[in-house]
Amino acid sequence: MKNLKLKSARAALDLSQQQLAEKVGVSRQTINAIEKGDYNPTIKLCIAICRTLGKTLDDLFWESE
């Protein structure tokens, strides 16, 4: 399932995938795969992304029904 919430939060801060990747210490391809739903990140990476974007885990990674 695509993570449009992550993509939206990243875009709202005017960050490219590359910029977000550099801030959290992963490759741009990893951010791209998370947004496309092709990669399930570790909790550590989820927390780093949330801190960088100023969001909670629920905001970005909880799938509402």
3-state secondary structure 9-39: HHHHCCCCHHHHHHHHCCCHHHHHHHHHCCC
Residues 4-61, CATH architecture: Orthogonal Bundle (1.10)
Residue-wise pLDDT for 14-25, tens only, equals 999 999 999 999
Q: Whole-model pTM?
A: 0.91
**Contact indicator for 59, 50 with CB cutoff of 8 Å:** yes
Residue-wise pLDDT for 10-64, tens only, equals 999 999 999 999 999 999 999 999 999 999 999 999 999 999 999 999 999 987 6
